[in-house]
Amino acid sequence: MTEQPKTAIVTGAARGIGLAIATKMAQSGWRVVIADLDKNTATSAADPLRDAGLAVQALPVDVADRASVSNLIDATISTFGPLDVLVNNAGIMDRAPFLEMSEDFWHKVINTNLTGAFLCCQEAARRMADHGNGGRIVNVASNSGVFGGRGRAAYGASKAGLINLTQTMAIELAEHNILVNAVAPGPTKTTDSMPDEPWPSVKNRMPLGRWGKPEEIAEVAYFLASDNCSFTTGHVWCADGGFTIAGIMEG
């Protein structure tokens, strides 16, 4: 199937997995908005891609604020035309012991990771439905939304909620030809400050035994956002080196 250029928004795209997704899409000829809370960081990420002749725009967004999200989508449509793809990547990955976790911490993580995704999805899906050409929504979840992890009550709950939101949206938006899927990354090296190898507690539970690369997550997200993904919706693709499926690794 020949892929047609699309207009896409990637939130939290100034660095890491989000930037890798935005770069993959732009290099494939898509028109891409790098959206981030920090406009300057987003601009710094977008400039090299624009200098390379790619159709990239940097725009600010606070995903937990509906007006900000609506302004982002309106500005994208004004610049690049009807929205085809939304990738919800913006999120907070933070830990706190459950017994010591404050309500402020809980609300900050949930508001960004889950409520922010809901607002972005709803605003984008309304525009896609009104335009009538369907679309693709890709949520960046986590394998922390599939099973528990120490210190991750808020983060894990937000990602588990995002997985269920993905499934529910897939059912309700199918009539508008909007496909909704999620990629659930496992341990991924997103900064140079991370060690060369995963921590033993991680590596010993992961068959592939290494960090994932942001570019490897981007390949999955790109497929889920593309026309080649035509009969898959409500699916959660765990790009995690086998972390989610691993049971007993010894013996």
Reading the block at residue 64, the tokens are 């937990």
Q: How many CB atoms lie within 10 A of CB 100?
A: 8
State how far the alpha carbon of 74 is from the alpha carbons of 81, 106, 139, 178, in Å. 10, 30, 20, 19
CA distance 63 to 66: 7
Q: Which of 30, 80, 118, 155 is catalytic?
A: 155
Q: Which residue, among 77, 43, 79, 80, has the nearest Cα to 60 in the 3D structure?
A: 43
Based on the residue annotation, tell me whether 222 is a catalytic residue of this protein.
no
What residues pair up with 9 in beta bridges, in sequence order?
33, 86
The residue to which tokens 């369907």 are assigned: 134
Residues designated catalytic:
155
